[in-house]
Chain A
Amino acid sequence: EAGVAQSPRYKIIEKRQSVAFWCNPISGHATLYWYQQILGQGPKLLIQFQNNGVVDDSQLPKDRFSAERLKGVDSTLKIQPAKLEDSAVYLCASSLVGTMTSVYNEQFFGPGTRLTVL
């Protein structure tokens, strides 16, 4: 079974530029998550999709970050314009469901995209 795919793996941009990350979840997984992991910290949830609808984007800086999941499969996360503090690893994860009804609702993570903003 193929895992969660992400691209690019690395990206270096200058502040105020735009950048986009792509994620392809595990086939059949209804729920998709984007996390931001700043160096020395644990991942922080930015946005959660259930199929192609947003369930939770409470921690997404909406003035500069946007995300979409067209057709309930692939997803893109965009930053426009980027700031220095956006330097982080952006992790995508997917799970079968996103509710508490599933005990083993394990989230499978992709390899991440390491973003450096200069």
Chain B
Amino acid sequence: AQKITQTQPGMFVQEKEAVTLDCTYDTSDQSYGLFWYKQPSSGEMIFLIYQGSYDEQNATEGRYSLNFQKARKSANLVISASQLGDSAMYFCAMRAPTNFGNEKLTFGTGTRLTIIP
């Protein structure tokens, strides 16, 4: 079974500093995908970044980058130059095949990031 672990329930970071949100995963599948989502207080899940298990380069999307260490089974999110609008819950998720022939997203418990002015 797939499992995602986010060990940081909450983080406080000064505005303009970089922040790393930790994510480790467990799977026996060779083909899988890793996602990061942002969930502001309004409730919607906003897709940030994706990393495929066969991608050799770390994914980057603007101020977001994913530090993918396959051997360690970690997929940490790095946010550079944090902004007040980055305050939100952040979820790491893994997409992997199931016995039903579909693919399923398994989410971690999330990290609440608060940016301090």
Contact = CB atoms under 8 A, between A and B. Distances in A.
Contacts of A100: 31, 95, 97, 103
B105 A45 contact: yes
Name the prevailing secondary structure of the B interface residues. Answer: strand
A29 to B, nearest CB: 14
Contacts of B28: none
Given A40-B109, A100-B31, A105-B95, A45 B42 contact: no
Interface size class on chain A is 20 to 34
Interface residues of B, number: 27
A98 B102 contact: yes
Given A41-B109, A42-B93, A109-B44, A103 B100 contact: no
Contact of A99 (B4, B37, B102, B108): B102
7 contacts: A33-B105, A42-B93, A45-B105, A50-B102, A98-B103, A108-B47, A110-B44
